[in-house]
Amino acid sequence: MTTPQPWPTLIQTIPSSTCMISSLFPSSKTIFFRSTFIIQNFLKPTQYRCYSPKMSATSVTLEQPSSERRAELVESLAEIRERVKSASTSGKEPTLVAVSKYKPASDILACYEDGQLDFGENYVQELEEKAKLLPADIRWHFIGTLQSNKAKILASIPNLFSIQTLGSIKAATALNKALPAERTSPLRVLIQINTSGEDSKSGIPPLSSSSSTSEVKNSDLIQLADCILKECPKLRLEGLMTIGALELSLEASETEKNADFERLKETRDVLARYLKETYPPDDGGRWGEEGTGRLLLSMGMSSDFEAALKSGSDIVRVGTGIFGQRAKKTTST
């Protein structure tokens, strides 16, 4: 197979510092994704690559979804949306975050073109690469293990919408420091609570409504919340997140409530009471959902999002239910 000749004039219009194009085909069209120039080839194979100096050549590709895959995703997305809607208890529609870890950018594009804007990713490098390729109005939610040494990369993603896995003062201050001045709105953060107490789960311990005032004041959660409100003006404490124990979500029946979800709700209520007293909502409103001031709950995944919604969840994170099974993790980023 012969390689098509590149277009020298077109190449010259592209600053080599931002992007070098490997191969161009005669019917190429220039697309602007923020400041990055990407040449998209509309001939077969429908694939193009953009090499930025910092990235590896193989990692950044955006393929168009095949029509079969697109149809499959549109169908599963419609089903999940319907199930979210019918399980929702509050008047307000919950946020469905499509968890796209390990899934190709083309899958995300198919969902985006079907109106899905909220996507969740677990790995910083994977998120960074996808965010560069995909439309700038996607709302990215980071839901992976948050290491403070990765805060800078995360903070540099302009359309990072929230971080749902905040778990330490160190990570909060690193994020606050790393967020660029040109970011116009504070970054929403949710504190991850380890409601099941499992060693394998991240997050800080929950609070109980029976805890004494001093226990509450000295808890990890309140200290982190205080740090966000006093020392991190670029963060907005939007709510709490939990993963929960799988057994509890499988055991919970129609009548029995899931203990993880109940614990997260109770923790939220204790935290909300403390915040209302300490940082009144009319004091600039630095916490809770914008507009309502409510502390949101992010709980519920493919296997238990309906139960979570019945317990009052505001944000559900669904991966497998939309995209199908994931390949086993091979590298850690």
Ligand X SMILES: *Cc1c(COP(=O)(O)O)cnc(C)c1O
Which residues lie near ligand X (CB under 6 A)? 99, 101, 122, 143, 243, 301-303, 317-321
Q: Which is nearer to ligand X, 209 or 303 (CB)?
A: 303
Q: Smallest distance from the beta carbon of 121 to ligand X, in angstroms?
A: 9
Element (H, E) at 177: helix 169-178
Q: Smallest distance from the beta carbon of 326 to ligand X, in angstroms?
A: 7
In three-state secondary structure terms, 174 is helix
Q: Smallest distance from the beta carbon of 151 to ligand X, in angstroms?
A: 18
Rounded to 5°, angle at Cα 26 from 25 and 29: 80
Partners of 204 in the β-ladder: 193
Alpha-carbon gap, residue 249 to 99, rounded angstroms:
19
> CB–CB of 115/139 below 8 Å?
no
Q: Which is nearer to ligand X, 102 or 274 (CB)?
A: 102
Q: Which is nearer to ligand X, 274 or 305 (CB)?
A: 305
Q: Which is nearer to ligand X, 88 or 192 (CB)?
A: 192
Q: Smallest distance from the beta carbon of 306 to ligand X, in angstroms?
A: 12
Q: Which is nearer to ligand X, 206 or 319 (CB)?
A: 319
For residue 201, count CB atoms less than 10 angstroms from its CB and return exposed for 0-12, middle for 13-18, buried for 19 or more.
middle
- DSSP line for 249-283: HHH--SSSPPHHHHHHHHHHHHHHHHHHHHS-TTT
Q: Which is nearer to ligand X, 28 or 88 (CB)?
A: 88
Q: Smallest distance from the beta carbon of 143 to ligand X, in angstroms?
A: 4
Q: Smallest distance from the beta carbon of 102 to ligand X, in angstroms?
A: 9
Element (H, E) at 226: helix 220-231
Q: Which is nearer to ligand X, 4 or 197 (CB)?
A: 197
Beta strands in 167-260 (DSSP E): 187-192, 235-241
In three-state secondary structure terms, 294 is coil
Q: Are strands 29-33 and 36-40 parallel, antiparallel or unpaired?
A: antiparallel
Alpha-carbon gap, residue 43 to 226, rounded angstroms:
55
Q: How far is CA 186 from CA 149, 159, 233, 235, 294, in A?
A: 20, 12, 7, 5, 16
Q: Smallest distance from the beta carbon of 162 to ligand X, in angstroms?
A: 12
Q: Smallest distance from the beta carbon of 279 to ligand X, in angstroms?
A: 28
How many other C-beta atoms lie within 10 A of the C-beta of residue 257?
A: 15
Residue with the shortest CB distance to ligand X: 319
Q: Which is nearer to ligand X, 99 or 207 (CB)?
A: 99
